[in-house]
Amino acid sequence: MDRTSFFSLQAGRRIDVPRASRARFAIGDVVRHREFDFRGVVFDIDPVFANSEEWYESIPQEKRPDRDQPYYHLFAESEEESYIAYVSQQNLTGDMEAGPVEHPALPQLFERFDGQRYRLRAGLRH
């Protein structure tokens, strides 16, 4: 299989990536965790797991997701708090609620919610 690599600051090393890696969600999409009660807005995507080994090992082995799938950085919210989450593709679904997310960091990267997703601020788009 054809592969490439990138350097991950979080992992502190180069990450090997299959060129055929496909993200199901895009930056600005509103998603919901399949198992835990939180939702969020995608603000970055790693084509495969690119966090620290300590983070990965902290997940119980019976729930530990495969490394070779996209992982999403989310501005996440639950009923109690707002935070940053790092979630595997297998654990996310599109948010059927499709309402705005109230994370305080959203205005730094995104324009207002358009009813379906968040658009990157004009100065941040390619």
CA 58 to chain centre: 18
Contact 71, 84 (CB under 8 A): no
Task: Report the percent of the chain where pLDDT is more than 90.
Answer: 60
Contact 88, 46 (CB under 8 A): no
Beta bridge partners of 83: 76
Q: Determine the pLDDT at residue 18.
A: 66
Q: What is the pLDDT of residues 9-58, one digit of tens each?
A: 666 667 666 666 688 999 999 999 999 999 999 999 999 888 988 999 99
d(CA 76, CA 57): 22
CATH superfamily of the 3-124 domain: Hemimethylated DNA-binding domain (2.30.30.390)
Contact 74, 41 (CB under 8 A): yes
Q: Determine the pLDDT at residue 2.
A: 64
Domain boundaries, the chain: 3-124
> How confident is the prediction for the chain on average, in pLDDT?
87
pTM of the model: 0.83
